[in-house]
Amino acid sequence: MAPLLNPLRFLTGRFLLAWALLWGVHEPQTQPLELSVSHDNQLILRAPGPTHTWFRLEQTSRFEEWVPLRDSFAWPTALSVDHRQTAFRFYQLIPVPIPEPPYTIGVVGDSTAVGIERFPRVGGWAQRLSTFAREDTRFVMAGEPGLSTKSFFGSFRERMLTTTTPTVVMVQLGQIDEFNGQPELKSTTLSEYRDHLMAMIEMIRGWGGIPMLVTPLPSREFSDEGGLAPYLVERSAEMRSLGEKAGVWVIDLHQLVSDLYLAATPEDLDHWGYADHYHLSIPGSLAVAELALRALPPHLSQLLFQFTPDP
C-alpha cells in the first residue's frame, strides 16, 4: 500500500496547488499558470507571460498559518516547489503592488558592508552600490563597524531603519556575532543568530519591505592545501538555511567572494584587500558590490539599479 500512497498524495497536491494558486490571486490579476514536474520530482510553476504586479508565494499545512515560501517576485519566472516536504500542503499567490519611486535601500551590516569612517581606505561593498543606483534610488546605511545581530536591537541603527521603512533591506551580519568576544553584548550562538535574523525579517515585512539576507564575507587567508581558511562557514550556512525556510532572497556573498579569491592572482588579492585578511580596499569593495548586483533578483535589479554585467 505504501508505494501507492506517494503518487496519490502527489496528484492530490498538484490539484490543490492549481486550485489554491488560481484562488489566491485576486480576479483582476488572474491568469493561467503552467504546472510541470522536473526530473527530480519537483513541481515547476510558470506563467506564460509578464504581469503588471509582483507576487508572494505562501504555503500552509493545516490553514492555521500562511508562511511565505518566496518573497516578492515577478513573472516571467519559474519557481520550484518541493512538494515532498509534507504530505499535504496548500499554496496561494498574493498580489504585491510594485513599489512607487523614490525607492529606498536599507543596509544593516558591519564594517565590510558600510566601511569605517576613520579609515577611509577601508571600503564597504554596500557603499559602492550607489555607483550603479538609478536617480530615484536612495540608501539608508543602518550599519556600523562592530555591529552584530544582538547589538542591532534597541540601537540607533534599528530606529533609523524603522523610521525610514526602506523598500528593500539587505542584512549582512555574522562576523561580530562569531568573533567579538563579548558574549553579553554582541556575540551569539548559532541558534541566537538565527532567531535574531528571523526577528529582523519579520520587522521588515511588518512595514511591507522586502528583506534580503547577505552572507558574511570570507577571509583571504589560505590553507596549506591552497583553499580558503574556513572562516564564517557555519554562519553563512545558517543564513542560507534560514533564507530557504523563511522564503527570503539570499545573496551568498561568502561563496561568491570565495570563488573570486580562489581565482585571483596574488596581485589581485593585494589590490582588493586592506591591511588585514578580512576588510576590503576601495577597489575590492567595488568588485564585491558588482558580485552582489549580479546576484540580485532581476525585477529588483531593474527597478533600483542601472547595471549591465560584463558578458
CATH number of the domain bearing residue 247: 3.40.50.1110
> Is 228 in the same domain as 132?
yes
> Is 84 in the same domain as 123?
no
Q: Is residue 310 part of a domain?
A: no
DSSP run (H or E) holding 272: helix 266-272
> Is 131 in the same domain as 85?
no
> Is 66 in the same domain as 177?
no
Q: 207 falls in which pLDDT band (50, 70, 90)?
A: very high
pLDDT higher than threshold 90 for residue 14 = no
Q: Which of 48, 75, 96 is the last residue of a domain?
A: 96
Q: Which of 96, 118, 134 is the last residue of a domain?
A: 96
Res 310: pLDDT: 61
> Is 78 in the same domain as 109?
no
Average pLDDT, the chain: 85
Higher pLDDT pick, 55 / 287:
287
The stretch 105-130 carries a mean pLDDT of 94
Higher pLDDT pick, 25 / 284:
284
Res 83: pLDDT: 66
> Is 164 in the same domain as 51?
no
Q: Is residue 308 part of a domain?
A: no
> Is 177 in the same domain as 156?
yes
Q: Which of 49, 74, 96 is the last residue of a domain?
A: 96
Strands 78-81 and 43-46: antiparallel
> Is 143 in the same domain as 246?
yes
Domain limits for position 204: 103-303
CB under 8 Å to 112, separation ≥6 — which residues? 124, 125, 172, 175, 216, 217, 278, 279, 280
The stretch 195-205 carries a mean pLDDT of 97
Res 142: pLDDT: 96
Least confident segment among 23-37, 187-201, 259-273: 23-37
**Spatial separation of the C-alpha atoms in residues 256 and 291, rounded to whole Å:** 7
Can you tell me which residue has the cell 522586502? 210
Least confident segment among 18-22, 114-118, 190-194, 234-238: 18-22
> Is 80 in the same domain as 148?
no
> Is 90 in the same domain as 108?
no
Q: Is residue 129 part of a domain?
A: yes
The CA-to-CA distance between both ends of the chain, in Å, stands at 53
pLDDT higher than threshold 80 for residue 85 = no
Least confident segment among 6-10, 44-48, 294-298: 6-10
Total domains in the chain come to 2
Res 250: pLDDT: 96
> Is 66 in the same domain as 139?
no
